[in-house]
Structure 1
Amino acid sequence: CQSEAEADVAEAVEGGDLGIVGEDVQDFGDPNYSSAPEVKTVCVFPKNSAKLVLAGEQTELLVGMENIGESPVNVIAIKASVHLPFDHRMLVQNLTAVAFNNATVPPSVQATFPYVFAVSKYLQPGTFDLVGSIIYDIDQQPYQSTFYNGTIEVVEVGGFLSVESVFLVTLGIALLVLLGLWLHGQFQRITKKTKRAPKVEVGTRAPDASLDEWLQVMSWLMHHIIIIITSHSFYFS
């Protein structure tokens, strides 16, 4: 948003009049209009101070406008676009423009206009720059003011589930690595014993202690793997 005090933002959003959104979506192109000095703009992301945008889902922001001039301001539309943060010349997506019908801000009046947008569901999660502008005219002279030029954080829907999946896969790999290291150590120890073992008479002997230890480790690993998988399956259900 523009560099305005938080009190001015709250006053513009909560104390203003609401514009009427038109049903027809128009293509306003990329007009190179200048801003009017008698118009001040601010914006807020309601209940979304972190500016998180779910890919493919609708996100709302509110644009506050203050007319400090002597002529009424006729609001025409709000438009926005998404750019790469390191180079604004790299356009990522043009967002839908919202037209307003009969939206007029009289002199010395503040008004609030909603803007709902959605980035593509195929957009890679990460940090992007959002540039939002409001188009209006004063005495039939068109103007354009940028109400937001900053970063947003695009996240994928169900990103938490993906993190859980990565956790389970990582845990499984770690357990397999530990099991492999333990089996490798046991194999080397048994091999050394076999090379040093003298000949003995054929008969009944006690079970090898290493076999019992191996069975205990396998039982412990399987027990904990079953507990982890069961708990996560219950959570996601």
Structure 2
Amino acid sequence: MKMKMNVRVLFLALLLLASPLLQVARSQVDDDHSSLVDDVVGEHSDSAADEDDQDLDINLTSAPGVETLCVFPQNSARVVPAGEETELLVALKNDGKPTVGVMGIRASVHLPYDHKLLVQNLTLQRYNNASIPTSVQATFPYVFAVSQYLQPGAFDLVGYVIYDVEGKPYQSVFYNGTIEVVESGGLLSGESVFLITLGIALLLLLGLWAYSQVQRLTKKTKKVSKVEVGTRSTDASMDEWLEGTHLAKSLSGKSKSKKN
């Protein structure tokens, strides 16, 4: 009996010791299962969004009778700070079509000398077929932001408005021109500030060099004038010292004979 009791007590003790480990293992399995479910759901949602974006990212032609216009409000210089949001207004006019349904607006940034070199694809902004009746003009805002790591300089912005006419998708270019990308926080880039500072420093060095040259020339002229004055004073003292001597008389006689 004692042997059976000891075995039971030992078995219960082992169960008590193993229960925390079982709970930890169970929680890890639950966490792995939940993360797997989240990953699957996220993959499905991302793929669906990508498919929707691809539907609007195909090569389409423009519909006749639809005119577009683009305005940068309060930014006529078209200066775009890197990493900050910039707003532009897209006006779409329906001349003659029954109804135009605006699906979305997208844009991209390219190098100015070759549009085949894509710099950045900007945000696709959806409007869920906002309808424009015949002979009506509607304006749509488009907010975009270029990468904060984009180097300041001139780039080309190409913007498209995608719309639907009688069940058929079209797109029209509303802007194809240059924008000036600057660093965030000011109109002057770090390179411009460096060049300005370097120019000021060079001007200061040039001014100091010119001042030192002028000072050196003035010192040389002063030294030359002192030497001349010293020579004249020496000649006068020599005349006084030789006065009354035979040499002075002979010199005076020679000077008189030269005059005669």
TM-score by length of 1: 0.61
- Correspondence for 1:27: 53
- Correspondence for 1:72: 99
Q: Report the Cα offset of residue 120 of structure 1.
A: 1.4
SS in 1 for 2:53: coil
- Correspondence for 1:160: 188
- Say how many residue pairs are matched: 175
Question: Quick check: 1:144 aligned with 2:171?
Answer: yes
Q: Report the Cα offset of residue 176 of structure 1.
A: 3.5
Unpaired segments ≥5 residues, structure 1: 1-23, 198-237
Give 1:59's match in structure 2, choosing from 72, 82, 86.
86
**Distance of 1:121 and 1:90 partners within structure 2:** 19
Report the AA paired with residue 106 of structure 2.
K
**Distance of 2:201 and 2:177 partners within structure 1:** 41
**Distance of 1:128 and 1:34 partners within structure 2:** 24
Question: Quick check: 1:171 aligned with 2:200?
Answer: yes
Structure 1 runs (4+) deviating above 4 angstroms are 161-166, 180-191
Aligned ranges 1:48-127 → 2 under 5 Å? 48-127=75-154
Structure of greater Rg: 2
Closer, same or farther: CA 168–87 of 1 in aligned 2, 3 Å: closer
Identical residues among aligned pairs (%)? 55
Residue 182 of structure 2 contacts residue 189 of structure 2 at CA under 8 Å; is this kept in 1? no
Residue 183 of structure 2 contacts residue 189 of structure 2 at CA under 8 Å; is this kept in 1? no
CA RMSD of aligned residues (A): 3.2
Residue 97 of structure 2 contacts residue 165 of structure 2 at CA under 8 Å; is this kept in 1? no
Of structures 1 and 2, the one scoring higher in RCO (CA 8 A, sep 6+) is 1
Give 2:70's match in structure 1, choosing from 12, 27, 43.
43
**Distance of 1:104 and 1:149 partners within structure 2:** 25
Report the AA paired with residue 200 of structure 2.
L
**Distance of 2:114 and 2:77 partners within structure 1:** 22
